[in-house]
Structure 1
Amino acid sequence: MTSSPYLTALQRDGFVVIPSLLSPDEIAPLRDAATKATTLTRSGKWPFFRTVPKQFPPWPDVVPPASEGGIWGVQHLLHPAMPGRSEFAQLYFSDKVLRIVEELLEVGTTTTGQEEEEGGGEEMLVMELLNLLVAPETKDFELRWHRDGISETATSDEELQLLHTNSPNGRQFHAQYNIALCPDTSLIAVPGSHRRARTDAERNADPYEPNLTGQRVVKLEPGDVVFYDSNILHRGAYQHKPEGGPETRLTLHGSVGLKSQDGKVRATAVLQHGVGQWIDREEAALHAGERAERMRRNLIAMGRGDDVGYALQG
């Protein structure tokens, strides 16, 4: 028996589903906060969002009308002006999430001398992103097959080199996850594809191919979480919400980084979303414990994101 079952599954398959990470009592306040954040954003009162039909940043400044699909994501749940920020921060910095992150990144915190006496230490984790994925309005929306941070135009040799750069010896520089607050079957991935170049069939397939050989639909119930390697070949398929009905998809989409590891790659992936523009404000203090503040300071050290560019386009 391995002492790191989640890491073993992640390295083998490229993703690992952990059922019932959250209890019903934990889901309820998060679902309430997520619903309010979504309603606020749909009404044009929250300025950070992902819009249909765009897949990658930069995002438009105006929410498209519901007749065009509206939004499919709410950005920056840890922003100081976000209602419900406290509930989101408690989850993001919770021991139950960070313990899994530490296993997947094969790291913990280290302490030395004076720092240990002061109850601190060198924090190896970096606060990155916590966003919300939601159902579009009036029309379904799909993301094309992709790997995060590797262009679809890359040759096989370029893919292999980038896979090694992004995850040397199979080790990730960050842990990325989806936590479902409603039933969710939106993530579709090809197990094992995070360790190889695309096959000819994958390379030549339609960008929205609904039945790619070997694909698996990742099924999550409320409270389940999937951690997945950002190098895996994956896409999303989002069904629209019923007009006037309740939210049918509320999935927390987060990432936690590893300090001092390939900073340029992570700076682009994280700061392209604009988090660097507000994270160093005085009012951005998280009030979620000393570890949260150490992780926030690690993010501040990455910079504001000026001229980092975008990992993918479209």
Structure 2
Amino acid sequence: MDTHLSGLQRDGFVVIPALLSAAETSSLRNAATTATALTRSGQWPYFRTVPKQFPPWPRDVPPASEGGIWGVQHLLHPDMSGRAEFAKFYFSEKVLKVVEELLGLAGQDEEEEDGEGELLVMELLNLLVAPEQKDFELRWHRDDIPATVSPEEEMRLLKAKSPNGRQSHAQYNLALCPDTSLIVVPGSHRRIRTETERDADPYEPNMPGQLTVHLEPGDAVFYDSNILHRGVYRHKPVETGEETRLTLHGSVGLKEKESRVRATAVLQHSVGLWIDRDDASLSHISERAEKMRRNLIAMGRGEDVGYSLEG
């Protein structure tokens, strides 16, 4: 029987249809629409801007004529409108059950030897949106391996970041609108790039073997962060003004004694600067959510971790 884990290990991604109900999807779409409107109008300070692909991000929202934003950061921030709705989703058993399977925790006793009783770490929950007035594309990349490394170093890093074929985190896109933005090369998460892939244009529209991931509202795709992939963002139509892309982009980590690499990937987004605020507690969501938050606090504030990739 093909499981979510076997699909992820074989292909580097696995699509889960209808992870959320229509009602759950609608409620989250309303919250995401509000968050996007606040960010576009300059009332939310955490965002991803066109034409940058990686952090650090500018402090000001570019004008719509230049594309504006393509992402809203920190949906679990205590000041975020709709935080309760986003947190309810992020810490839901629907999501965490899949995460546990992909991280090899399914069926394990949650009690650790140190008595803290939680193996998962809260990481990130962001929102990917359609830019305004102009399309935007991400170049081909792996999330945590620079394109400039040699084939030998590329293989070493692939093995180091996925020991025994598993990563120390699970990341996903959950569509709230129809979404065809993610393009992947199946199987590329376990091998170095071919000569063709290494020499290709960074925005090559027809990479050999590429596949466009099709998601309907409520569908999710979990994918290996080191699969060769890129994103294509079509701008939202001016006529209607409706948001045409609202995709929740999240990651959940596995607690480790040595997690410097993962700390960089997570803390580079500045989550460490607010996660320990008194009003950031998640006890009202669940005891598990609060333990996951505390596991993130233990990773540090991230003031000196640098960036996984830049540009």
Once the two structures are superposed, what CA deviation does each residue of 1:3-57 show, in whole Å capped at 9, x if it has no partner? xx00000000000000000111111110000000000000000000000000000
Q: Which residue of 2 aligns with 1:35?
A: 33
Asked whether the equivalents of residues 109 and 124 of structure 1 are also in contact (C-alpha less than 8 Å), the reply is: no
Offset at residue 200 of structure 1 (A): 0.2
Q: Determine whether 1:171 maps to 2:166.
A: yes
Once the two structures are superposed, what CA deviation does each residue of 1:247-284 show, in whole Å capped at 9, x if it has no partner? 00000000000001640111000000000000001100
Change (3 A) 1:43 1:111: same
Asked whether the equivalents of residues 130 and 245 of structure 2 are also in contact (C-alpha less than 8 Å), the reply is: yes
Q: Determine whether 1:17 maps to 2:12.
A: no
Q: Which residue of 1 aligns with 2:309?
A: 312
Mapping for residues 1-314 of structure 1, pairs under 5 Å: 1=1, 5-107=3-105, 108-111=108-111, 121-243=116-238, 244-260=240-256, 262-286=258-282, 287-314=284-311
CA–CA distance in structure 1, aligned partners of residues 113 and 183 of structure 2: 47
CA–CA distance in structure 2, aligned partners of residues 161 and 284 of structure 1: 38
CA–CA distance in structure 1, aligned partners of residues 111 and 98 of structure 2: 20
Change (3 A) 1:113 1:49: closer
Task: Give the unaligned 5+ runs of structure 2.
Answer: none
CA–CA distance in structure 2, aligned partners of residues 261 and 155 of structure 1: 29
Once the two structures are superposed, what CA deviation does each residue of 1:170-209 show, in whole Å capped at 9, x if it has no partner? 1110000000000000000000000000000000000000
Name the SS of the counterpart of 1:163 in structure 2: helix
CA–CA distance in structure 2, aligned partners of residues 128 and 293 of structure 1: 12
Name the SS of the counterpart of 2:291 in structure 1: helix
Over the matched positions of the two proteins, sequence identity in percent amounts to 72
Offset at residue 110 of structure 1 (A): 2.6
Asked whether the equivalents of residues 112 and 118 of structure 2 are also in contact (C-alpha less than 8 Å), the reply is: no
CA–CA distance in structure 2, aligned partners of residues 114 and 268 of structure 1: 25
Offset at residue 109 of structure 1 (A): 4.7
C-alpha RMSD over aligned residues: 1.3
CA–CA distance in structure 2, aligned partners of residues 50 and 10 of structure 1: 27
Offset at residue 114 of structure 1 (A): 11
Asked whether the equivalents of residues 182 and 232 of structure 2 are also in contact (C-alpha less than 8 Å), the reply is: yes
CA–CA distance in structure 1, aligned partners of residues 231 and 112 of structure 2: 44
Offset at residue 122 of structure 1 (A): 1.7
Once the two structures are superposed, what CA deviation does each residue of 1:232-254 show, in whole Å capped at 9, x if it has no partner? 00000000001152000000000
Larger mean Cα displacement after TM superposition, 45-54 or 103-112: 103-112
Asked whether the equivalents of residues 11 and 187 of structure 2 are also in contact (C-alpha less than 8 Å), the reply is: yes
Offset at residue 306 of structure 1 (A): 1.1
Q: How many residues align?
A: 307
